[in-house]
Amino acid sequence: MRAHLGGHPLEAHGGYLIRTESLGGLKLLELARRALVEDGAPADTQLSVCVYRGRKIIRLALDGPHTAGRRGSHWYSEHQALARLLSKEAGLTVHSYVYDPQEYEEVMAFGGGQNVGGERLPYDEVELPECLDGDFDDEAFARMQERWPLGHLAWVYGVERDLLLQLHRMQGARLGLNGSEPESERPLEHLLRGVAA
């Protein structure tokens, strides 16, 4: 695997992806608070919201010490209450994902409050493209990655895999989930102004 992606070191992360059109009238913070309780997350967890306006994609993540680093990214494999609640309440498809560049990548899809599919790819099971002249074939490897779970998810959202893996770095808002809703809603409204339908 490459050591860097878009000039940044590869780092493990996870989260949930939805389209911005899906948020109209949705009480996102209320659902996130319910998800915290269902998943047993600490009360001081924050909701991270990043928007990629070019394709109207929203990345949501429940941020705290329990979701930081490699071990934290794996938290999203077992804790999908927010994805279930969003898919049920808003009637939309939510994708949860995990990216651990040293171990595996995983995508799970949720619709109507249920898991409706997904795939996990452990990297130690991947057969790398053969080298014809002794050099690693980066282009063949990139084509191979397009068929992996995160490559397919990138295709679903109409972006390149590399961009999808950088969504967590985009400027966004970190919203407290233990405060009053009107105060917490303001940053979200500002972030989504002119994006959500």
Look at 10 and 129; give whichever has higher pLDDT: 10
The token pair that represents 99 in the structure block = 């990216």
**pTM assigned to the model:** 0.86
Q: How far apart are CA 180 and CA 139, in angstroms?
A: 50
Backbone dihedral angles phi then psi of residue 70, each to the nearest 5 degrees: -60, -50
The token pair that represents 173 in the structure block = 């808002």
User: Three-state SS across 107-125?
Assistant: EEEEECCEEEEEEEEEHHH
Beta bridge partners of 29: none
For 78-108, what is each residue's pLDDT tens digit? 999 999 999 998 888 999 999 999 999 999 9
For 131-142, what is each residue's pLDDT tens digit? 767 677 778 888
